[in-house]
Amino acid sequence: MSAAAKKEHKSNRPERGGVVTFVEAIRQGLWEEMERDPSVFLIGEDVGVYGGAFKVTDGLLDEFGDGRVIDTPISEAAIVGAACGAALMGMRPVAEFQFIDFITPAFDMLTNYAAKCRYRWGAGVAAVFRGPCGAGVHAGPFHSLNAEAFFMNTAGLKMVEPSTAYDAKGLIKAAIRDPDPVLFFEHKKLYRLPRLREEIPEDDYTVEIGKARTRREGRDLSVITFGAQVLTALDAAEELEKEGLSVEVIDLRTLAPMDREAILATARRTSKVLILHEASRTGGIGGEIAATIAEEAFEWLDAPVVRVAATDTPVPYSPPLEEYHLPQARDVLDAARKLAAY
Amino acid sequence: MKNGSTTKTTASKSAKGEAEEAGARVSADAQGSNGAGDTAEARSFIFLPPPRAEALSVPDPLNERGELVCTDETTLAPAQMRELYRWLQLTRLVEEKLVNLYRQTKVVGGVFRSLGQEATAVGTCYALRPADFITPLIRDLGAVLVKGIRPREIFAQYMAKAWGPSEGRDLNIHFGDIERGFVGPISHLGDMIPVMTGIVLAARMRKKETVAVAYIGDGGMSTGAFHEGLNFAAVQRLPLVVVAEHNWYAYSTPTRKQCAVTNLADKAAAYGIPGYVVDGNDVVACYEVMKKAAEFARAGGGAVLIEAKTYRRKGHAEHDDQRYLPEGELEAWEKRDPLDRYQRHLISNGVATQDALDEITADVRREVEEDAAWAESSPMPEAEKAAYNVFDNSNVPPAFRPKVFGRGE
């Protein structure tokens, strides 16, 4: 950038805190971490000039320059590998997948390299791998993925998926400061959802990785969920309240390592558990949650643990097909009523 | 060129014509003709013939008695040349000791030899600065040793001992030491190219003049990660030097089934970077080519691809009987043994006497025996240590084996 251009250049710097959307909260978090720590940098496809496909990194190139906001070729393995190499040198890379669906070309780098470095020779890979996940926006089989189950069986990767603006900012900051690799999933439906606009603090805050959050307390049954499905669960809880059912909603926030204490505590409190996730049912992380409860809270249960999840198909494109595939509010209501009546 | 009305016919005809022509040119090239003057007639597109078919090689340097030695063109001082001999000998003797330990069943996993190709790893790595980084392949033990990793660490790794750098968690040279500029590989070939790209990307951000060297083979170059990593390094003009060790076999698969280029260095063109071809069994030439490549990369020239033509004289690992080798091939390459050749070179050039070299060898033998004994004296790791270090344990507890009905313990 020339000196003259620089003079005229107005920083696109976000406010600290204030009333923000989900996407703005993440952008604030990235910006503040890059200001705080010169070893933090961004790397990914179209993250620079274009500001990212969802504008999460909008304005960061102008502020921090192309040495710290790096546009790459379409090469997910190179993006992840280079982030790993830089992390070994003490940098704090934040790599973006344009859509989480494109995490699969980097599967090997994540599961074999990033995940195993500390275990193999004590070299923690302090890097964040983030991107938009999730279905429900008619984006078809290649732009709708929920990838968490792919990585749940890999030791060495943390996974985070926030559902509020406050948590999104606090968790992205915590992820950047974490000494181990963190996959950071951002449900694309939440980015600009007016309902998620909230006032967040001005101060520098983080949200601890590994801790779930009780979004609503209840006595009759628990819904354990995360990401965009938290909203479905909260709506269902409100509806069921009118029917006299008191529903607890647990937002996992971190998927790995999972907050087992929170899961077991809610199971023991309400004795009836419904697990809700947007990924396909078979082999989804709901199975792990159900098994944990079955093994360790069996005596507290008054009913079988129930899963509500997507059907076992790819995510279809056409709205009626996608609606059939994804878990809907009515599925949650139906399952909750049956569970309550059990 | 015909007139416009017939261009289309000409063009569609020439698709087949080009293929035939390319084949003809390849064979013409192989016979030493340049194949020029035989181009497609269309003007609406340009035909690029495939790269030259003959394998590039440099003339063999011979001594006064007509024996194969190493190149005379060198900047190495005599003391450095004797040191190079020490590294070659150390590499060979460490591996021979490993085979011994393997036969005594003290090595838990496989043993992978670099017999016949030691000069490539030793010569190229010797040209680097201490602050530079390498990532070797399994057949680059020589580079690992030159980088300052001690034989005892290697022995302890192979024997899965607690005192090994990975404390029994991973095999052979699968570990790293950032201080010594060594990042161990993983078994997935090609993955280290992007990682080393990241190493030099970080070094550049920190304003350091670090060069990274990634070793790869004729097999590993077929992976997607190799392509993505080298392409990204080239685009960013990062100082990454890739050493392609052309040893002709990836396990049992010969190069002709691995890729359609004749010289692995031909692939440099696809990344817009310079390529070199060197005799991988000439340790002096390997040193010199890396010196040049590293200098170029360090000065801001960007990535470089070096192809070292060498030969893997042992099987993939000790269990491999090499039944796939054509008759006579092994014998031909035994005559090009890099250590014998360098020994002749040093003696015929008056750099060292046979006695002096024998003294170095005896000294290396001592070190190898001492270090192997040290590694043998190490305990095996305590079983429960398997639970530690998945994550930073100040953050996340170790992954202990849970008790049945442990109730959250």
Q: Please state the ipTM of this predicted complex.
A: 0.94
Alpha carbon distances (Å) from A109 to A227, B137, B199: 25, 17, 15
> Backbone phi, then psi, for B237, in 5-degree steps?
50, 50
Query: A84, B195: Cβ pair inside 8 Å?
Result: yes
Query: A296, B194: Cβ pair inside 8 Å?
Result: no
Does residue B23 register a pLDDT over 80?
A: no
pLDDT of residue A5: 47
Q: In chain A, which residues fall in CATH 3.40.50.920?
A: 213-341
pLDDT of residue B43: 81
Q: Looking up tokens 């980097």, which residue turns up?
A: A106
Instruction: Name the pairing type of β-strands A18-20 and A198-200.
Output: antiparallel
Mark out the alpha helices in A89-164 (DSSP H runs): 107-108, 117-121, 148-152
Give A39-78 pLDDT, tens digit per residue. 999 999 999 999 999 999 999 999 999 999 999 999 999 9
pLDDT band at B396 (very low <50, low <70, confident <90, very high): very high
From CA A59, how far away is CA A49, in angstroms rounded? 8
CB distance from A81 to chain B under 8 Å? yes
The distance of B101 to chain A (nearest Cα, Å) reads 23
Query: B228, A296: Cβ pair inside 8 Å?
Result: no
Mark out the alpha helices in chain A (DSSP H runs): 3-8, 22-36, 60-64, 76-88, 107-108, 117-121, 148-152, 165-177, 229-242, 260-270, 285-296, 319-325, 329-341
Alpha carbon distance, N-terminus to C-terminus of chain A: 67
Which residues on A lie below 8 Å from B178 (Cβ)?
A: 88-89, 123
The distance of B336 to chain A (nearest Cα, Å) reads 37
Domains of chain B with bracketed CATH: 78-149+178-320+330-374 (3.40.50.970)
From CA A66, how far away is CA A86, in angstroms rounded? 16
Contacts 24+ apart (CB under 8 A), A106-110: A106/A76, A106/A77, A106/A79, A106/A80, A106/A81, A107/A150, A108/A77, A108/B188, A108/B191, A108/B225, A109/A76, A109/A77, A109/A80, A109/A81, A109/A84, A109/B191, A109/B194, A109/B225, A110/A80, A110/A151, A110/A154, A110/A157, A110/A181, A110/A183
From CA B76, how far away is CA B346, in angstroms rounded? 12
- Residues 283-302 on A with a CB inside 8 Å of B are 295-296
Q: Looking up tokens 């996407």, which residue turns up?
A: A23
Give A269-279 pLDDT, tens digit per residue. 999 999 999 99
- Judge whether A200 and A18 are in contact, CB under 8 Å: yes
Query: A81, B407: Cβ pair inside 8 Å?
Result: no
The distance of B208 to chain A (nearest Cα, Å) reads 11
Query: B198, A67: Cβ pair inside 8 Å?
Result: no
The distance of B204 to chain A (nearest Cα, Å) reads 9
- Judge whether B246 and B273 are in contact, CB under 8 Å: no
Does residue A116 register a pLDDT over 80?
A: yes
Per the document, the length of chain B is 409
Q: Per-residue pLDDT averaged across A178-199, rounded?
A: 98
The distance of B185 to chain A (nearest Cα, Å) reads 9
Q: Out of A291-305, B9-23, B152-166, which region has the weakest mean confidence (pLDDT)?
A: B9-23
From CA B160, how far away is CA B182, in angstroms rounded? 20
From CA B22, how far away is CA B52, in angstroms rounded? 10
Say which of A9, A143, A277, A325 is annotated catalytic.
A143
Which residues on B lie below 8 Å from A68 (Cβ)?
A: 205
Query: A116, B206: Cβ pair inside 8 Å?
Result: no
Considering only CB atoms, B396 lies closest to which of A39, A108, A210, namely A210
Q: What is the pTM of this model?
A: 0.92
Query: B194, A91: Cβ pair inside 8 Å?
Result: no
Select A213-341's CATH number: 1.10.287.610, 1.10.760.10, 1.10.1050.10, 3.40.50.920. Answer: 3.40.50.920
CATH fold of A15-200 reads Rossmann fold (3.40.50)
CB distance from A65 to chain B under 8 Å? no
- Judge whether B90 and B283 are in contact, CB under 8 Å: no
- Judge whether B394 and A255 are in contact, CB under 8 Å: no
pLDDT band at B46 (very low <50, low <70, confident <90, very high): confident
- A143 tagged catalytic: yes
CB distance from A256 to chain B under 8 Å? no
Give B48-100 pLDDT, tens digit per residue. 887 777 888 889 999 999 999 999 999 999 999 999 999 999 999 999 999 99
Q: Which of B169, B196, B395, B405 is the mutation pick for testing A, counting most A CBs within 10 A?
A: B395
Instruction: Name the pairing type of β-strands A247-251 and A213-216.
Output: antiparallel
Q: In chain A, which residues fall in CATH 3.40.50.970?
A: 15-200
- Residues 142-201 on A with a CB inside 8 Å of B are 155-156, 158, 178-180
